Structures are given as structure tokens and as C-alpha cells.
Chains A and B, each alone.
Chain A
Amino acid sequence: MDIVEELLKGNRLALSRAITAIENEYDEALDIMKKLYPHTGHAFVLGITGPPGAGKSTLTDKLARAYRAQGKTVGIIAIDPTSPFTGGAILGDRIRMNGLTMDEGVFIRSMGTRGSLGGLSHKTADAVKAMDAFGKDIIFVETVGVGQSEVDIVKAADTTMVVLIPGMGDDIQAIKAGILEIGDVFTINKADHDGADKLVREMNMMLDLDGMMTDWRPPIQKVIASQNEGITETIENIEKHFKYISENGILTKRRTERSKNEMMDVLQSSIGSHITKKLIDSGLMDKYVEQIKARETDPYTVVGGIMKDMLK
């Protein structure tokens, strides 16, 4: 099977195999990405992040259904944590989305973080591109359950939605840096639980204090995802945001920034692996490590020398 050709024709197995090649960094992955790249840049990428148990998957399921009702095709990448000890993972986000499995307009892929700490996996962005090239109109990226500082999603998404739930702490939590700063749209899920209104007030206070606020004030929507309440309003908020960033040149700026990040990521990993291989093949790696360990030299001097030798 020619993966790229089949993928572009709409073959779901080809899309699936392409993501596997990307994720496992098979030799053919680079070639696949090269060929898919010209076909990307059309999808709207929605990031969904928030603490574990906030209802991200349930919300994703409901939002995906709403977009399907509009006739849009949907891709979903759902990320769950990989064990740092065994490398294994339980990828359980699909459980909340089983009703979407038989809809041919939806493609769901679960990914483990595989050592990445920013809430995504290293290969999430490339998997998004594969779905984009496949022709998905909207691609959801659901992060792992995050704590306070896993904010890689902003680099991958056009619009980032932060999902919160009542009862997770006092108002000092709301003024800390981190995930609360990255929300373009806020959703307070499980709004039938105690403390939902209090959380809305605290979030509003946080936004009032935001000195960097642009013309876009992130809306805060109360939702009960399991009962489909607040979903229409949430979609409206997402669409308003997308309209806002499209009309103000922010989308272009974000995507330019993303192109730059993509290039720098590829550059850094290529240079890194090129030099590492040379050091290992020439036996210099062990020599340098021994010298550093014995305090005969230091890592800074060694790297300075390597840079001079290899990058002339």
C-alpha cells in the first residue's frame, strides 16, 4: 500500500498506518511527512486541556457531535500519560467517545505521551498534519490531564479551550501562572456541582486583573457535558474566537510562529542526532564522558570544541 497516495484518497487504514509510522519514527515517516506537508494547513485545530477528570473526553465527544451536525468532518487526537517506569499506558479516552466510532466522518486516535512532559506527545503535531492532509475540517487535540504548567498545546492549536471544574482550590489558584493563562475559551464543566458560580467569579476576577489582555476577553461558559448542557454556547465561543483571530491577523501570526517552531524542532533534532551519531561512531563520546567524569575538563568546553569541529 502506498500510504501517502491512499491517505490522500481517503483510506482510513492508510491514515492510521501513517500516524503509526510517525509515532514510532519509522524510516519512511520523514518521506510521508514531506509528501503530506503540501496538503496541510486547511484544518482548524482546537486544543482541549484541563486537569484530570475535568471531563475533557466527554466534552470532546459532545462538541464533535455538534460539529458533525454542521456537516464538518472531525479528527480527534486524545493523549494519555505513558508510564515513566514501564513505557506502558492505558489510553482510555475512547470510552467517552464510543458513540462516534461508527461515524465515518470521525477518526479518533489515542496517543501515549511517551516521555514528553508538556501535555502532548512529541509526535502530536505531525499526527495533526496527517489528519489535516486526510481532509478533516476540524481536529481536536485533547491533552493529558494537566496540572499547572503543561502548556505545549498552545503551540499546536489555533484555539485553546481550558476545561475546569468546581472544587479544585481557592482563588489563589486562579491567579497563578500556567494553564489559566493559555485559555482562549474557558469551560466550567460539571456546573451542577457546588462552587461553579464561585469558580466563574474567581475566573472573572483573574481576567479583570490581566494587564496583557487584548481585545479578546476569554469567555467563561458553564457546561454539564454529560447532559449536553452549554454545548451550543461553547461552540459559539469557539467560533467567535476563531473569527476574532482570523480577522485580526492573530491566526496568521500563530501559524507563522508554528512554522518557525516546526523548522527549529526538525533542525535541532537533526543536528542533535547527527552529532550524537558521529560522537558514538568515532568513540569520542566515551572519551569525553570519562574526561568530564574525572573533572579533567567540563561539558561546556567539550561542547565548545565539538561545535568548532563539526559545524564549520
Chain B
Amino acid sequence: MEKRIRVLVAKPGLDGHDRGAKVVARALRDAGFEVIYTGLRQTPEQIAEAALQEDVNVVAMSILSGAHPHLFPKVVNLVREKGMNDVLIIGGGVIPETDIPALKEAGIAEVFTPGTPTSDIVEFIKANVK
């Protein structure tokens, strides 16, 4: 059996809008990935621990509340602290262009903003997953 790409799709923080996360989860499923969907209102600690237990290759987060400058880097740090250095961490949601360089600096591999075709996300994961 070949290696299968496993992706954790999570919604950190307090906004209750998971439509986008679900659309992405479905697109990743259709691309042949195993998607662990953890749903709404996750703390960074919960996301990092779930990533460890599920041994995922990718953590994909969606935020629409504006809390991304705080929560995204926190997840990166917690995941790395657990010894998962190869995990690709990506983000999406309503994120101003001006915030993106800082997020990338903090270890978010790519940020996908509204209007991105889901195929772009699939291609990015395939090209960058370790």
C-alpha cells in the first residue's frame, strides 16, 4: 500500500464559519487525501496534539475572524515543539495581503485567500508535502 497524504483541517479560534473549511476538506478528499476534520473552535494546543496523534503530513487552517496573526504562528510553534518538523502548515480565510509576509516568516508555508480555486491548494500540497 502506498503512502497516503494525511491532512488535518482545523478551524482555530472563535469564528463559527466552517463552510470554506468544509469545501476545502471535500476537495482534498476528492484529490485522494485522507482528511481529518476536527471542526470549529479549536485551540492551537488541540490542533497540534491532533496533528501528532493523527501523524498528518499537512495542517490546513481556516480563520475568518482576524485572529490569524496570533493563532497561525502559535500552531506552527506548537507543532514544531512536538518534534513534527516535516509537517507542512498552510492557512486560509479572510486574510489581508499585508499580513501574509509575516505569516510566511512565522512558518506558514502558504496562505490561500478567498477566490482561490481548490485545485491550487491540492497542487500546492502535492508539490510541497514531505
Chain A residues engaging chain B, CB cutoff 8 angstroms? 12-13, 16-17, 19-20, 23-25, 82-83, 86-92, 94-95, 98, 101-102, 107-110, 112, 114
Q: Is the CB of A91 within 8 A of B2?
A: no
Query: Which residues does chain B contribute within 8 Å of A110, judged by CB atoms?
Result: 34, 36, 54
If A16-B54, A17-B55, A95-B38 touch, does A90 touch B29 (CB 8 Å cutoff)? yes
Query: Which residues does chain B contribute within 8 Å of A20, judged by CB atoms?
Result: 55
Q: Which residue of chain B lies nearest to A114 when distances are taken between CB atoms in the complex?
A: B1
Q: Is the CB of B55 within 8 A of A94?
A: no
Known pairs A13-B52, A88-B35 / 15 extra A-B pairs, C-beta < 8 Å? A16-B55, A17-B55, A88-B29, A89-B29, A91-B54, A94-B36, A94-B38, A95-B39, A98-B39, A101-B49, A101-B50, A101-B53, A109-B54, A112-B4, A112-B34
Q: Which residue of chain A lies nearest to B36 when distances are taken between CB atoms in the complex?
A: A91
If A16-B55, A98-B46 touch, does A86 touch B37 (CB 8 Å cutoff)? no
CB 8 Å contact bits of B1-45 with A (1 = contact, 0 = none): 111100000000000000000000110111111111111001101
Query: Which residues does chain B contribute within 8 Å of A112, judged by CB atoms?
Result: 4, 34
Q: Is the CB of B46 within 8 A of A102?
A: yes
Q: How far is the CB of A58 from chain B (nearest CB, A)?
A: 13
A98 to B41, CA, bound (A): 10
Range of interface residues on B (Cβ < 8 Å): 20 to 34
* B126 proximal to A (CB < 8 A): no
Q: Is the CB of B45 within 8 A of A102?
A: yes
Q: Is the CB of A88 within 8 A of B36?
A: no
Query: Which residues does chain A contribute within 8 Å of B43, judged by CB atoms?
Result: 102
A82 to B84, CA, bound (A): 25
Q: Is the CB of A91 within 8 A of B37?
A: yes
Query: Which residues does chain A contribute within 8 Å of B38, judged by CB atoms?
Result: 94-95, 98
Query: Which residues does chain A contribute within 8 Å of B28, judged by CB atoms?
Result: 88
Closest 6 CB pairs of A and B: A88-B29, A16-B55, A95-B39, A87-B32, A20-B55, A88-B32
A17 to B85, CA, bound (A): 13
A108 to B54, CA, bound (A): 8
A112 to B5, CA, bound (A): 12
Contacts A/B (CB < 8 Å), 20 sampled: A13-B82, A16-B53, A16-B54, A16-B55, A24-B2, A24-B3, A25-B1, A82-B34, A86-B30, A90-B26, A90-B37, A91-B34, A92-B36, A92-B39, A95-B38, A101-B46, A102-B43, A102-B46, A110-B34, A110-B36
A20 to B30, CA, bound (A): 21
A102 to B25, CA, bound (A): 23
Query: Which residues does chain A contribute within 8 Å of B49, judged by CB atoms?
Result: 101-102
Query: Which residues does chain B contribute within 8 Å of A101, judged by CB atoms?
Result: 46, 49-50, 53
A20 to B3, CA, bound (A): 9
Q: Is the CB of A24 within 8 A of B4?
A: yes
Among A16, A86, A109, residue most surrounded by chain B Cβ atoms (within 10 Å): A16
Among A86, A101, A107, A109, residue most surrounded by chain B Cβ atoms (within 10 Å): A101
A108 to B33, CA, bound (A): 19
A12 to B82, CA, bound (A): 10
* B83 proximal to A (CB < 8 A): yes
Q: Is the CB of B4 within 8 A of A90?
A: no
Q: How far is the CB of B87 from chain A (nearest CB, A)?
A: 11
